[in-house]
């Protein structure tokens, strides 16, 4: 199988008779039927804050959990704490994450977050060097990335667009952080959240955005003349600043 190597991803393997029931009670999406498909989900703190996001599928009697290497170890520790007496084992799988656009090879699965993200596959053989500008694709569709727009112990998944990205199920029942997430869902509207904005100039991720002399948000990934920003919607203006860059609100 050929595809670009996602070198910043780790695949954990969850095995044992209780694996599906165990994860179903912890993560934000319904993982009761994973065979032959990918499901996007997150692990939250009891306070409803984001800890890690991942893609899951089932293969050969194991649930594969495709997660950013930057949070993989912390996620494995957190899952181990919750397993108590459940018949569950959590370990690195040693598999490589391959991804690509266009026709999917045999064994590959469509990325459930958005069709522009193409397909993913899990292989013992490494993939090729990346050539696709994934950041440009993410920014255009406002798709957050672990450790950039998605900040452990800080981000809220609804502000990050998880409902639009098919990463949360409001009918599946309880999971860790569910109560806070449900309360946010039933507000009249979110006051803060991620959005794709225009940008003139450059500024590093994490640069504060100001509008009319007040802090209006934070700039994150930039790609060409677009960027992802976390904004306070009641403070946005047609033209804002982020360091020496100008941030353009799309409705301005």
Distance CA 52, CA 35 (A): 22
From residue 158, alpha-carbon distances to 62, 75, 155, 164 in Å are 29, 20, 9, 9
Unique residue bearing structure tokens 């040693």? 94
Task: Tell the burial category of 247 from Cβ atoms under 10 Å away from its Cβ (0-12, 13-18, 19+).
Answer: buried
Q: Phi-psi region for residue 206, left (φ > 0), alpha (ψ -120 to 50) or beta?
A: left
Enumerate residues 6+ apart whose C-beta is below 8 A from 121: 1, 3, 97, 98, 99, 104, 105, 107, 108, 109
Q: Rounded to the nearest 5 degrees, what angle is found at the Cα of 113, between the Cα atoms of 111 and 115? A: 65
pLDDT along the chain (252 residues), means of 10: 93 98 97 96 97 97 98 97 94 97 95 98 96 97 98 97 97 94 87 97 96 97 97 96 96 57
Task: List CB contacts of 4: < 8 A, sequence separation 6 or more.
Answer: 98, 99, 100, 127, 128, 129, 130, 131, 132
pLDDT of amino acid 186:
87
Token output for 91:
């370990």
The count of C-alpha atoms lying within 13 angstroms of the C-alpha of 165, restricted to the half-sphere facing its C-beta, is 25
3-state secondary structure of 248: strand
pTM: 0.96
CA torsion through residues 18, 19, 22, 25, sign: negative
CA angle, corner 160, sides to 99 and 49, nearest 5?
110
Pairwise CA distance, residues 168 & 165, whole Å:
8
Query: Residue with structure tokens 């799988």?
Result: 93
Domains in the chain: ranges and CATH? 4-132 (3.30.70.1400), 140-248 (2.40.30.160)
């Amino acid at each position: 199988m050929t595809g670009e190597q996602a070198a910043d991803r780790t695949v954990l393997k969850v095995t044992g008779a209780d694996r599906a029931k165990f994860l179903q009670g912890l993560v934000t999406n319904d993982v009761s039927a994973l065979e032959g498909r990918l499901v996007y989900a997150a692990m939250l703190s009891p306070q409803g804050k984001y800890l890690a996001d991942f893609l899951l599928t089932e293969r050969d009697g194991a649930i594969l959990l495709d997660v950013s290497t930057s949070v993989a170890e912390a996620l494995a520790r957190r899952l181990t704490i919750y397993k108590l007496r459940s018949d569950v084992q959590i370990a690195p799988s040693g598999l490589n994450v391959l991804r690509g656009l266009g026709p999917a090879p045999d064994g590959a699965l469509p990325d459930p977050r958005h069709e522009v993200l193409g397909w993913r596959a899990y292989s013992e053989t490494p993939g090729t060097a990346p050539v696709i500008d994934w950041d440009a694709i993410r920014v255009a569709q406002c798709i957050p990335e672990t450790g950039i727009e998605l900040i452990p112990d800080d981000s809220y998944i609804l502000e990050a667009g998880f409902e639009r990205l098919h990463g949360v199920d409001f009918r599946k029942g309880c999971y860790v952080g569910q109560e806070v997430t449900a309360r946010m869902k039933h507000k009249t509207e979110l006051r803060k959240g991620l959005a794709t904005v225009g940008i003139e100039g450059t500024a590093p991720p994490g640069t504060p955005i100001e509008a009319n002399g007040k802090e209006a948000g934070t700039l994150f990934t930039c790609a060409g003349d677009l960027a992802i920003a976390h904004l306070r919607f009641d403070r946005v203006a047609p033209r804002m600043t982020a360091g020496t860059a100008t941030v353009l609100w799309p409705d301005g």
